[in-house]
Amino acid sequence: MAVIGNNSAMNQIRCGQIGKYGPERGGVGNKLGDVDFEKFAECFGGWGIAVREPGQIRPAFEKARERVAGGQCAIVNIWVDINEYAPGTKAQTMYK
């Protein structure tokens, strides 16, 4: 089972670039676009699901565990806000 926090960007890089160059120039070259990663499981005979609401997380994990127990791979693609950053990302010093 793979779990993806999908923000459609390389946010660690994006956060640093925005901090150094401002929002007008900080988003250059680090946005990925919306990728439906859950569909990759289907390529391998597996099962995938997109999660867009917090209340969908537990049921998606339970279903994914059932699929894995049955011998399939599973991908849970959890869409997250592009403007939220992990604490470690906010504390980075690479661009300072």
Q: What is the pLDDT of residue 93?
A: 65
- The DSSP symbol for 9 reads B
Q: Which residues of the chain have pLDDT under 70?
A: 93-96
In the Cβ-directed half-sphere of 46, how many Cα atoms lie within 13 Å? 23
Q: What is the 3-state secondary structure (H, E, C) of 11-59?
A: HHHHHHHHHHHCHHHHCCCCECCCCCHHHHHHHCCCEEEEECCHHHHHH
- The DSSP symbol for 68 reads H
Amino acid at 23: P
Q: What is the pLDDT of residue 96?
A: 60
Q: Which two tokens stand for residue 86?
A: 């992990």
pTM, two decimals, is: 0.82
For the chain, domains (ranges, CATH) are 2-84 (3.40.50.970)
